[in-house]
Structure 1
Amino acid sequence: MLILFNKPYGVICQFSPHEKHKTLKDYIALPGVYAAGRLDTDSEGLLILTDDGRLQHRISHPRYKEFKTYWVQVEGEPEEQALAALRRGVDLGDFITQPAEVRRMDEPAGLWPRTPPIRERKAIPTSWLELKISEGKNRQVRRMTASVGLPTLRLIRYAVGQHTLDGIAPGVWQQL
């Protein structure tokens, strides 16, 4: 079984109860499925769940180079040197990232509002990037954009490999 879930902001990627946040159990009432990878509580978007341990490992393990595509709203206007740094790989102190595919993009069409909304500052513009990586270490995308001077305001995982969020509203899942 393969489940595609559009995880809302503020939801924790676990099935056990949490004192402050909703969890996967609040949205998915299927026994025996587990997340293949994770998304931080303050990130949104595609989460894949399965009841197949081998498939779960293949999707989530960096050895298999399953590309993950993120839509990233950042503070500021990205200059080419910042994008070039992301394309080369960024030294985050504890590791150097693999090169990312990155491009500027318009705000995604049909994007749902985030609750709560991001903080906006009148004097500082925001921009959108599409970022593709095959890793997925803790808070990696946020750390990468911050290291090149573009703090992440909103982070949405749009795709994992060939699977995308297309047609899946926040808080909704579909079985493939």
Structure 2
Amino acid sequence: MLIAFNKPYGVLCQFTDRSATPRPTLAGFGLPPSVYPAGRLDFDSEGLLLLTDDGALAHRLTDPRHKLEKTYWVQVEGDPGEEQLAALRGGVELRDGMTRRARARRIDAPALWPRDQPVRFRKTVPDAWLELAISEGRNRQVRRMTAAVGLPTLRLVRVAVGAHGLDGMAPGQWRHAGTGPD
């Protein structure tokens, strides 16, 4: 079984939270029993999370050797120039090594739901939206990549994993998504 879920901002990508101050988890969304995340999204990231009850499928979805592309819409602080986009496309040097090549382009502000903690707005600092597609999944990779080229991330929404997309799901909604990575 494969479930597509639109993870809201401020929700942990797990079913329990053992921290001193409990935070919202996946347990609050009526997901089918016995599924678990195939990959993850940070607490402060939003968008498509795939869940499955099949270990082999989870491996195919998350193992970087399979190079399954993940697409993000990223609101960044600053005005991206062609040099910064070219750097993202060519791979960025991070503390844990060079990233793979990515697809990166500037996009118009997408029609998204309001975030339950609005992005800070500063009159004197421009912001822009990028579409960034990567085929690996290091910890906080997209945020680290945009920061490395001088464009700090303000909002991060994963819109697709391989052929699976959000397809109009509101935050907190989920649906059955078939059985495979494509």
TM over 0.5, shorter chain: yes
* Alignment-derived partner of residue 2 in structure 1: 2
> 1:86 aligns to what SS in structure 2?
helix
* Alignment-derived partner of residue 59 in structure 1: 61
User: 1:55 is aligned with what amino acid?
Assistant: L
For the aligned residue pairs, the C-alpha RMSD in angstroms reads 0.9
1:35-50 paired onto structure 2 within 5 Å: 35-50=37-52
Gaps of 5+ in 2: 178-182
> 1:168 aligns to what SS in structure 2?
coil
Residues 1:173 and 2:174 are matched in the alignment: yes
TM-score, length basis structure 1:
0.97
* Count of residues in Structure 1 that have an aligned counterpart in Structure 2: 175
Sequence identity, in percent?
65
CA distance in 1, matches of 2:39, 2:159: 14
* Alignment-derived partner of residue 81 in structure 2: 79
4+ runs deviating over 6 angstroms:
none
Please list the CA deviations of residues 37-79 of structure 1 after superposition, one character each: whole Å capped at 9, or x if unmatched. Answer: 0000000000000111100110011110000000000001101
Equivalent in 22, 25, 29 of residue 24 of structure 2: 22
User: 1:14 is aligned with what amino acid?
Assistant: Q
Gaps of 5+ in 1: none
CA distance in 2, matches of 1:10, 1:88: 31
